Amino acid sequence: IIRLLKVAVTDGHILKESGLKSPKECLGYRLITKSVERMADHAVNIAQNRLALTLAIPEKEILEELEKLSEFALKIFEDAMESLFDEDYLEADKVLEIAEETRNFEAEAVQKIVKHAAPEEVPALRLIVESILRTAEYGADIAETVLNMTVRDAVIES
């Protein structure tokens, strides 16, 4: 994808063939691609840290918090991608508003980990929380890129 975007920036024919409107749009898609790649890196980190846990199944309270945080991060990503596909400035703006709650979810998860996890499990669980948090932040980065890509149309419509 990145190679195609680089070529499209310099070759107007490739730009049109790819369905992109401008070299500026290529930059936006390049930033989005990078965010998705980083999210994938954090998915790997989550899996590796899960393997580092000694317990077969962490405490129920911890699992519930990790699930809530994961679902929240996934919603941010899905909504950001939907705003991209719809080219919708307002939708992207809503994603950024929702993403502001991320730190609250993180605080709740960390509290449950400290309260219910065995001390030797805390570092790996904390790294899992951090990776989930980063995926939410990358989803917000995608929404911010969509804002930048659609701001002109949003201003014209107003």
> Based on the structure, what is the number of domains in the chain?
1
Is residue 92 a part of any domain in this protein? yes
CATH number at residue 76: 1.20.58.220
Residues 43 and 94 sit within 8 Å (Cβ to Cβ)? no
In a domain, residue 31? The reply is no
* Structural domain contains residue 3: no
Reported confidence tier of residue 32, pLDDT bands at 50, 70, 90: very high
pLDDT digit string, tens, across residues 37-90: 999 999 999 999 999 888 767 788 999 999 999 999 999 999 999 999 999 999
Average pLDDT over residues 94-121: 93
User: Residue 103 is part of which domain span?
Assistant: 42-157
Domain assignment present for residue 121? The answer is yes
Whether residue 35 lies inside any domain: the answer is no
Read off the pTM. Answer: 0.87
User: Per residue in 88-124, is it b (16+ CB within 10 Å) or e — as a string?
Assistant: bbebbbebbebbeebeebbeebbebbeebbeeebeeb
